[in-house]
Amino acid sequence: MTHSIVDDRSLVQAAQQDPARFVDIYDRYVDRIYAFVSRRTGNRTDAEDITSQVFEQALRTIGQFEWRGVPISAWLFRIASNLIADHFRAQRRASDQALPELPDPGEVADIDRRLALFWHVERLPELQRRVIQLRFVEEKSIRDVATALERSEGAVKQLQLRALESLRKSMGQHG
Amino acid sequence: MAERPLFDRLDETVDAIVGRRDATAALRDAELAPLARLAADLRHYPGAEFRARLRATLQRRTTMTTTAMNPAVREGFSTVTPYIRVPGEGLVAFLVQAFDATETFSTRGGGGGMHREVRIGDSMVMIGEGGDGGVMPVRPSAFHLFVADADVTYRRALAAGGTSLGEPADRPYGERSGFVADPFGNHWYIATPLGPRSVGHALRAVTPFLHAPDAAAYDEFLQRALGAVEEMRQDEGGEFRYARLRVGDAALELGTGEAMPGSYMLYVMDPDGSYAQALAAGARSVMPVSDEPYGRVGGVEDAVGNQWFFTRPPSASR
C-alpha cells in the first residue's frame, strides 16, 4: 500500500497536462486522506466534508504543484491539516496544542491499520460487506439492517460476527 | 449463569461504538476484545457511496476545468456576469466611489436606456439604466464582494450613499464582513478573508449570492438547469445553510432566505442546448433563443425569480 515517488511524479504530471487524470490521484489517496481526517475529527460527517474539500482544493491547485520530490500524500496531508484546523477554529474547538501538519508516528500506524482493514472489507462476501456498510457507515440498528436485507435479526448478528471474524483473520495474516 | 452467545455480545458492543457510548467493557472479554477493536476501526470506514459521489463530483469538475477555457466567454469576463437593472443613473457612480469600479463600456440600448459595463477587481458587472429594459425587471439583488480591507470599503460605501445592513465583524465562516445596501437596494456583503482557507479565496471579487426559501431544492435545480457543480455545502442540524456552486469558471453562492432575484448572463457555446436544458429542469422561457446584435441568446426565469440569459457572443466561433 505504499507507492514509489516516481509513480507520484507521473501522476502529478499527467493531472497537470490533463485535469481529467486527477481522479487517478484521488483513487490512490482518498482512503488514506479520509482515514487521517476521520482520526483527527472523529466524526463521519466532518470527515466526509473535509475530505471532499481536500480533493477539491488539490484539483484547483494541482497546476501550481511544483515537484520537489515530496510525495503527493504529504501535500494532501498538509491541505487536510489546514482544513481541519480551520474547521476546529470555526467550531471554537481549537486545542491549545497545535497539531502537526503531517501525521505523527501513532497516527501513521492507525492510518495504515485502517487502510488494511478497509481493503479487507472490500473483499468480504457481498452480504457481509453490506452488513458492515449498513451497520457502521449508515449506522442502522440491527432491526433495520434485518429489514433491509430481508433476514432475521439473528441471521444478521451471525453475518456481522462472521464478517468481523473474517476481518480479524485477514488482519492477523496482514500484519 | 450461562454466558450469552458471542454474536449477541458483539452486537451490543457495535451498538455502543456506533452510538458513541462507552464500549470499553468489551476489552475485558478475551473472546470479544479483538473483534471490538476492529469494530472501533470500522466506525471510520468510508462509505462506498461517499467515495463514488466525491469521485463523480471531481470528474465533473475536471470536465468543467477543461471547458473553462470556453471561447464563448467574452475576453475579460467570466462564465456568469450579473446584469443589474436600475431605473436611472447613479449606480455606476456609487460603484466607482465605493468599490473602485472602472466603467469599461457604455452604449444606448434598444429600449432607450443605457447599457453599461464596469469592472470591479477581477469581475465584470453589467448595468441597465432606465429604458424599458426588455424582459429584465428592475429589482435589487445580492452580491458577495471581496476586498483588501472590509472596514475601509464598508465606510466608503456608506459615504457613497449606501445604507448599513450590518457593521463589519469577524464572522464564524472565516471572514470579516460588513453589509451595505446601495442607493438602489442591492445588497453588498463586503468581506475580507480572515484565514488562508476562507471561502473568499475560491471566489471572484463579485460573486452573486442567491437566496431561496427552499435552498436545498433550489441547489438541486441549479445543478440540473445550469449544469452547476456543488463545490461545498454546509448543513446545520440537518437543515441546508449554505452552498457554493461552480458554473464554468465562475461561482454562485446560495443561502436559505427570502429571494432577491436578479438577472445573469451566462456565456455558453450552445445557447440553444443550455436553454433547452434549463426548460427541461423546470424553468420558464422569458426569451426564446434568437440572434441579437450582441450574440445568440435565449433567456429563462426559474421558480425563485432569477433570470438566466444563455449567450454566445458573435466573437465565439463554433
> The CATH number of the domain where A42 resides is what?
1.10.1740.10
CA distance B44 to chain A (A): 6
Determine the pLDDT at residue B75.
74
As to burial, measured by CB atoms within 10 angstroms (0-12 exposed, 13-18 middle, 19+ buried), residue B278 is: buried
Determine the pLDDT at residue A93.
60
Residue A108 is assigned to a structural domain of this protein: no
Determine the pLDDT at residue B71.
66
End-to-end CA distance of chain A: 13
**Quick check: helix, strand or coil at residue A5?**
helix
CA distance B34 to chain A (A): 7
Q: Which residues of A touch B54 (CB under 8 A)?
A: 26, 30, 48, 51-52, 55
Q: CB A24: neighbour CB atoms within 10 A?
A: 14
* Average pLDDT rounded to a whole number, residues A89-114: 76
Inspect the interface and report whether the beta carbons of A168 and B11 lie closer than 8 Å.
no
Longest alpha-carbon distance in chain B: 94
CA B11/CA A146 separation, integer angstroms: 13
Q: Which domain holds residue A53?
A: 1-102
Average pLDDT, chain A: 85
Q: Which residues of A touch B45 (CB under 8 A)?
A: 114, 117-118, 121, 132-133, 136-137
Model confidence at A129, pLDDT cuts 50, 70, 90, reads very high
Instruction: Kindly give the parts of chain B with pLDDT less than 70.
Output: 1-2, 63-71, 133, 195-202, 317-318
CB–CB of A77/A36 below 8 Å? yes
CATH of the domain at A129: 1.10.10.10
| Domains, in order of start, for chain B | 6-44 (no CATH), 51-312 (3.10.180.10)
Element counts in chain B: helices (H) and strands (E): 7, 16
Answer yes or no: is the ipTM higher than 0.90. no
Closest chain A residue to the Cα of B174, Cα to Cα? A90
The size of the A-B interface in CB pairs under 8 A is 131
Nearest CA to B113 out of B153, B147, B84, B70 is that of B84
Closest chain B residue to the Cα of A84, Cα to Cα? B197
Residue A118 is assigned to a structural domain of this protein: no
Q: Write phi, then psi, for A97 (nearest 5 degrees).
A: -100, 120
Residue B118 carries which side chain, given as an amino acid letter?
A: V
Could you tell me if A152 and A97 lie in one domain?
no
Model confidence at A104, pLDDT cuts 50, 70, 90, reads confident
Could you tell me if A95 and A140 lie in one domain?
no
- The domain boundary, picked from A102, A134, A158, lies at A102
- The domain boundary, picked from A72, A102, A132, lies at A102
The residue among B20, B35, B44 with the most chain A CBs within 10 A of its CB, best to mutate, is B44
Concatenated DSSP letters of A18-86: -GGGHHHHHHHHHHHHHHHHHHHH--HHHHHHHHHHHHHHHHHHGGGPPPSS--HHHHHHHHHHHHHHH
CA A120/CA A130 separation, integer angstroms: 13
To the nearest 10°, report the CA torsion of B35, A110, B234, B150.
160
Element of type H or E holding B206: strand B206-212
Cell digits of residue B216? 436545498
Determine the pLDDT at residue A4.
44
Q: Which residues of B touch A141 (CB under 8 A)?
A: 15
CB–CB of B1/A122 below 8 Å? no
**pTM for this prediction:** 0.55
Q: For the sheet containing B229-236, what is the strand order?
A: B163-171, B175-181, B187-193, B142-146, B206-212, B250-256, B239-247, B229-236
Could you tell me if A146 and A97 lie in one domain?
no
- Determine the distance from the C-alpha atom of residue B12 to the mean position of all C-alpha atoms in its chain, rounded to a whole number: 45
- Determine the distance from the C-alpha atom of residue B129 to the mean position of all C-alpha atoms in its chain, rounded to a whole number: 26
List CB contacts of B167: < 8 A, sequence separation 6 or more.
B154, B178
Residue A107 is assigned to a structural domain of this protein: no
Split into its structural domains, chain A has a count of 2
Residue B96 carries which side chain, given as an amino acid letter?
A: V
Residue A110 is assigned to a structural domain of this protein: no
Could you tell me if A36 and A2 lie in one domain?
yes
Asked whether residue A3 carries a pLDDT value surpassing 60, the answer given is no
Element of type H or E holding B285: strand B284-292
Determine the pLDDT at residue B307.
97
List CB contacts of B192: < 8 A, sequence separation 6 or more.
B146, B147, B148, B149, B150, B175, B176, B177, B200
Residue A116 is assigned to a structural domain of this protein: no
Determine the pLDDT at residue B197.
46
Inspect the interface and report whether the beta carbons of B38 and A38 lie closer than 8 Å.
no
Cell digits of residue B245? 456552486
Q: Which of B10, B55, B196 sits opposite A23 (nearest CB)?
A: B55
Could you tell me if A46 and A95 lie in one domain?
yes
Concatenated DSSP letters of A91-159: TT---SSPPPSS--HHHHHHHHHHHHHHHHHHTS-HHHHHHHIIIIIS---HHHHHHHHT--HHHHHHH
Could you tell me if A93 and A130 lie in one domain?
no
Could you tell me if A92 and A135 lie in one domain?
no
Could you tell me if A129 and A55 lie in one domain?
no
Tell me the torsion sign for CA atoms A26, A32, A36, A41: positive
Could you tell me if A4 and A74 lie in one domain?
yes
Cell digits of residue A1? 500500500
Q: Which residues of A touch B14 (CB under 8 A)?
A: 135-136, 160
Residue B18 carries which side chain, given as an amino acid letter?
A: V
Determine the pLDDT at residue B64.
59
List CB contacts of A120: < 8 A, sequence separation 6 or more.
A166, A167, A170, A171, A174
CA distance A4 to chain B (A): 23
Share of chain A above pLDDT 90, in %: 45
Which DSSP letter does residue B131 get? S
Q: Write phi, then psi, for B20 (nearest 5 degrees).
A: 55, 35
CB–CB of B177/B146 below 8 Å? no
